[in-house]
Structure 1
């Protein structure tokens, strides 16, 4: 019989000894200790729920509510708490094979960076223990599916293992058509194995079809809502996820990630006020979690939300609040855990503020965070700094400094090639071509500069945005529009800006560029529309940007 976590959340929390914003570890049984599972009190800020999950696996009846709570945590990517929750189930029912499956799934970060060696070794140990336990045929299939990811990890790359796991989940989905969890996890693996260069979004569409068919019967399931958003987090499909995005935060109000996740869709659609509200809730929940868990430093979920928050503030022209976030970031001395999300935010926030404002001296003078951070492990994120410095130096006429920054970008690209990371290599190459284009323009090489900038824009058009970022620090097609405007080609510039706005709607500089290009072209009606949109979306802020004054003056004249 299925059980629901959401309806009985308060009772569950009391039974499990949950607490919001506290850190009081408890003793658990020997098996979780032997498997090195996370232990201690579950940390749930405000004592709220994570949604409703129906599992129906064959664990003892006494632990089924606890198991379904662990599943709900897993579906909202609350991986540490999910692992602890599955560990509690194992402590109470050591023969619940699916609790071991859940603990292993807590280490399989489907849409994040792959687990490291220690986590892979741990996952393999957990699954080895599970294989000795009694289980139904269906449960054996689940264990085998996740086993494909942890099998032979020393010799088989993560992408191949993920595809093998997805193929097995498809078999389970087809073998047990009434098993909604199989369908949901299969949809997750489709997204995890999607080709970033596939602009037809074949995997995402198929996963979305599966999830949307399930949602009406399980409207409070966190995984269905969560994965719909991830699958539609692209310019083509984002509109389909908007109703779900506006609901997910209410399904899982205790999850910092659930509070943040809707902003992926709000960002895709240029809904800046909704994105700001979502990430203010997310960062608040993340701070609460860090305090409750006793983390040394700031949790990576807080930084992730901050990057999206700054991006949205800048599109509202709200430099004051963006700068406040940067000043707050500069007070950080330690991150927990140290990973790609933290690295990206540390590099991106100051770069965004400088580049979005075309503050070239600030861009040229950017430095890496003074925090003790292993930057050598994160060449893609470091490249953001050097790309910003290159653009700043070029616009200040400091060509030798720009050449040094481009040389550094080249070395970072080489480093990524050695790491066999084609996606990040491509991102850095877009930056290299963009910087070379603007340096060429500064040298008077107009045709070569424009060709390079068009190459960079086309490369970016053909590449999916990484979920870690709300958007490029400067979209390449928007930069192409800037170059065409400088070259006195307003019609081409307008096409470039409008092309960028089609995939980056309501960007401040995209709207301003389109308005000024249309004005120079003599299309004053279109200029009025873009200027009016710019003024409208920045209303209510303490806005000091000169572009707004220009827009208001234009509208006042006409």
Structure 2
């Protein structure tokens, strides 16, 4: 009995540590069973109906990348059934490696490993549960050898050939080492990606509404030469988990890359509303908030690509308000996203609005350099080339102070700034021949950027 009590207390303590690290909001409400998360069910070893429901909810939220809320659900399942080991597996997964781990503070590998260890220490767990926990533990102590996790999940999948979750999470293990770099600029797939795609296609043939398989399949094919393969998954995710904002958002990846900007904007407007309702309902914001901002990014980019000025300006206002709320808590993200607002105005030729913007009250060389970039483009757009060249000089000077190795979503900041530099040189070139050479260089630089959604640069230079 003491071991069982220790198990529950250990899982609860792990959650509390993470909750403190994430600076949970004071008005955060207790976890509950939420409507609108679909009907996906993964049976675990429990006789407690409520524990099973919270586990299923945690799994859906895990697939939906709302890891903090998944963690709360798995913890509740552990409280309801002190004999169950799978809630600790869920906690290990919610704290451990995943596709967006490089930019997510909720990634806590030590706590993930502690959760897996705690579950494995419980007496009388089934061999199936032990296999799942061994899979999670294979990422320990620091996920320095992704091959160990791939091997462990291959074994879990082999022992559970009819379990779509086992197959789906094996596919995820295969793409974790490359994450957002599934294909190179020539469309060649990275190691493990074709196998992962085949596994997910097999799952979806038998379980077409599997939320995790549909989500991951979009990520597996969106950067490929044939992203249209994921159209059925995009269509399904527009409805099967309507209260999970990130799932509602995911079809936008396919609609955007296929050029359906109106639908990409529409699904993200709905996803943003779902997220706002989630924040209001739970009092939880924390590490999930960037996913809400990601929805707004899609709206901003899509409306600007359509050239719909009124809708673009509305998206600018919405993003500005959202950024303002995280200036203190997420300053780097706020700086990065702030730069997207004037470039969006450039996209719809709002030269006066760009030039009316005050110099940012920021010490960020990146943010101020982008301010000069936007002014240079705006002046060039008004045929005021002397003023444009002055702004270009300021831009180039500040570029030397920018951390070139800093991440720019899936790229490096230095590569993006080189692209901006080539564009400015083309816009202020003294001759047509010189401008053409700079434009060619800009195209080469943009072609070399890693895939991202929305793309790293605010418009296609071609």
TM-score, structure 2 normalization: 0.80
Decide whether the 8 Å contact of 1:173 with 1:183 is kept in 2: yes
Question: Which of 407, 411, 419 is the equivalent residue of 1:424?
Answer: 411
**Cα distance in 2 for residues equivalent to 1:66 and 1:472:** 41
Residue in structure 2 matched with residue 293 of structure 1 by the alignment: 282
Any residues of structure 2 matched to 1:22-41 within 5 Å, and which? 30-37=9-16, 41=30
CA deviations on 1:258-287 (whole Å, 9 max, x unpaired) are 111111111111112222221121111111
RMSD over aligned CA atoms reads 3.5
In structure 2, stretches of 5+ residues that fail to align are: 1-7, 20-27
Question: Which of 156, 166, 178 is the equivalent residue of 1:172?
Answer: 156
How many residue pairs get matched? 430
Matched, 1:211 2:187: no
Matched, 1:435 2:426: no
CA deviations on 1:387-414 (whole Å, 9 max, x unpaired) are 5345445554232321221333343243
Q: CA 1:411–1:76 in 2, change beyond 3 Å: closer, same or farther?
A: same
Decide whether the 8 Å contact of 1:98 with 1:139 is kept in 2: yes
Residue in structure 2 matched with residue 126 of structure 1 by the alignment: 115
Residue in structure 1 matched with residue 263 of structure 2 by the alignment: 274
**Cα distance in 2 for residues equivalent to 1:77 and 1:213:** 22
Q: CA 1:409–1:189 in 2, change beyond 3 Å: closer, same or farther?
A: farther
Residue in structure 2 matched with residue 111 of structure 1 by the alignment: 99
Q: CA 1:355–1:189 in 2, change beyond 3 Å: closer, same or farther?
A: farther
Residue in structure 1 matched with residue 82 of structure 2 by the alignment: 94
Decide whether the 8 Å contact of 1:387 with 1:432 is kept in 2: no
Matched, 1:351 2:343: yes
Q: CA 1:41–1:423 in 2, change beyond 3 Å: closer, same or farther?
A: closer
**Cα distance in 2 for residues equivalent to 1:443 and 1:277:** 39
In structure 1, stretches of 5+ residues that fail to align are: 1-28, 479-558
Any residues of structure 2 matched to 1:129-528 within 5 Å, and which? 129-134=118-123, 135-151=125-141, 153=142, 160-162=144-146, 164-194=148-178, 195=181, 198=184, 199-202=187-190, 203-234=192-223, 236-295=225-284, 299-332=289-322, 333-335=324-326, 338=330, 344-352=336-344, 354-363=345-354, 366=357, 387-392=373-378, 396-397=384-385, 398=387, 399-416=389-406, 423-425=410-412, 428-439=414-425, 442-444=428-430, 450-467=436-453, 469=454, 472-476=457-461, 478=462
TM-score, structure 1 normalization: 0.67
Residue in structure 2 matched with residue 58 of structure 1 by the alignment: 45
Residue in structure 2 matched with residue 539 of structure 1 by the alignment: none
* Pairwise CA distance, 1:187: 1.5
* Pairwise CA distance, 1:308: 0.9
**Cα distance in 2 for residues equivalent to 1:381 and 1:104:** 37
CA deviations on 1:35-64 (whole Å, 9 max, x unpaired) are 23459533677x2233413x3443445433
